[in-house]
A and B are shown apart, each in its own frame.
Chain A
Amino acid sequence: AQRVTQPEKLLSVFKGAPVELKCNYSYSGSPELFWYVQYSRQRLQLLLRHISRESIKGFTADLNKGETSFHLKKPFAQEEDSAMYYCALTGGNDMRFGAGTRLTVKP
């Protein structure tokens, strides 16, 4: 069964500090991993996907198959990064989400 675990419900950092949002997954095949973000009063939207290996808004995420992790990182957090972040996984037919981490970046 596919499962996504985000161990931190809340994460608070100061502006300019590094931030890492953890995501672990379980899946028997080769999954695709994603990070979705929901800013205040906005719709849930895609932030990045592991296949693209890109940096979006300064965020990066590396798929570690050995540790089955897909942690989201940013070296210098900004106040506008405050949002709800969801890690998600698909094996091809559907998309499963983690419980989410609410990130607060304090000035």
Chain B
Amino acid sequence: DGGITQSPKYLFRKEGQNVTLSCEQNLNHDAMYWYRQDPGQGLRLIYYSQIVNDFQKGDIAEGYSVSREKKESFPLTVTSAQKNPTAFYLCASSTIGDHEKLFFGSGTQLSVL
């Protein structure tokens, strides 16, 4: 079953804790993206990667970190430096230069305890 998988579906973070959101795809896509979705603000780009071992900051990268050690995986770490982490996080992937094939995961809802 091909697609893009995000886990977990729900995640809770304690104050001062780092948490990592998983994103895996088996679509052989080169590009992967992380977005944050807040009510009334739409999707805001956190980080994106077009190739293994390379990634770029989006509009709201502060307080987040990513890695791209494998083509299939693009995990997002929400660090303690992110003061307002409660949001819905969406991962997406696409082929390079063909954004029509931008596929989205089902999302992770992160909440702060």
Contacts and interface: CB of A to CB of B under 8 A. Distances in A.
Interface string A85-107: 01000101111111110000000
Contacts of A6: 42
B15 interface: no
B97 A92 contact: yes
B42 A94 contact: no
Q: How large is the interface on B (under 10, 10 to 19, 20 to 34, 35 or more residues)?
A: 20 to 34
Given A44-B104, A46-B100, A46-B102, A94 B48 contact: yes
Contacts of B102: 34, 36, 46, 95
B50 A100 contact: no
Interface of B is mostly: strand
Interface in B23-53: 33, 35, 40-45, 48, 50
Interface string A6-19: 10010000000000
Interface of A: 6, 9, 32, 34, 36, 43-46, 49, 52, 86, 90, 92-100
Interface of B: 33, 35, 40-45, 48, 50, 56, 58-59, 90, 92, 94, 97, 99-100, 102, 104-106
